[in-house]
Structure 1
């Protein structure tokens, strides 16, 4: 029993100490693992995806005036399988993680400092399958928006 309690305590501490981005356990739901409830109203952020060429898209999150965010999690998801596809390039303020055994298929923050914007580059899968892009944004530990659809311009 004591080992079980100690293990649970370590797991809780590990989950609370993730300032370096979303863990792979967030891949399926795209929800943060630090408590609170997802907001249901409009997010105070402009989230967009701009095609650079036929395979590459710049995905950006820009906070409304006077607003910041601390974390984000972005995926391109297959319309058919609802799993992360494509890949994200490394960026100065973002890192890629592997979701659903697909290399670099999600992008997340590298620290929890306040941000007013972030941009990442996503490359579509070679298969040409239909994809939707989604973003989750964390304003504070218990104020966040999950799986916001990102329109591609």
Structure 2
């Protein structure tokens, strides 16, 4: 009986840890926190997020790159207050990224498609027609146990 219970616990934790190896679901759009059985890291984000152009006109595009030590997962949004805005233009052949429909908008976020180690991902974000000062947020997971959630990493002005 003890073996059965032990095996059940181990399999349950493993299932939770790998539940989103193919990307973040829409259920995490608001808090951007993976539903892993661990708490987010409190330390400074150890990854670099660079924004090619931080000032755009409506409809223009910019590249946003997450890079640094190897990571397995990510979720990225550009927000107007609490809602994801704009769209991530992802090539259908991209093997590392896909869209997530957050806050009623089909391409308003991007996430990983697999848990293979990545050192860098570059995503193309298209500005909405709405003007404003928008904030860029990322969640990056080194693995299932170590991740930084909803980190504000910069601003993009659309004017």
**Aligned 1:4-153 pairs, distance under 5 A:** 16-51=18-53, 53-54=56-57, 55-63=60-68, 67-79=69-81, 82-91=82-91, 92=94, 93-152=96-155
Judged with a 3 Å threshold, the aligned counterparts in structure 2 of structure 1 residues 44 and 22 are, in CA distance, closer, same or farther, namely same
Q: Give the unaligned 5+ runs of structure 2.
A: 1-13
CA distance in 1: counterparts of 2:118 and 2:16, whole angstroms:
24
Aligned counterpart, 1:6:
none
**Matched positions, count:** 138
Query: Which runs of at least 4 in structure 1 moved beyond 6 Å after TM superposition?
Result: none
CA distance in 1: counterparts of 2:43 and 2:18, whole angstroms:
25
Shift of 1:16: 4.3
Judged with a 3 Å threshold, the aligned counterparts in structure 2 of structure 1 residues 115 and 16 are, in CA distance, closer, same or farther, namely closer
Q: Give the unaligned 5+ runs of structure 1.
A: 1-11
TM-score by length of 2: 0.78
- What secondary structure, in the 3-state scheme, does the structure 2 residue paired with 1:25 have? helix
Shift of 1:34: 1.6
Structure exhibiting the larger radius of gyration computed from Cα positions:
2
CA RMSD of aligned residues (A): 2.2
- What secondary structure, in the 3-state scheme, does the structure 1 residue paired with 2:132 have? coil
Shift of 1:13: 5.2
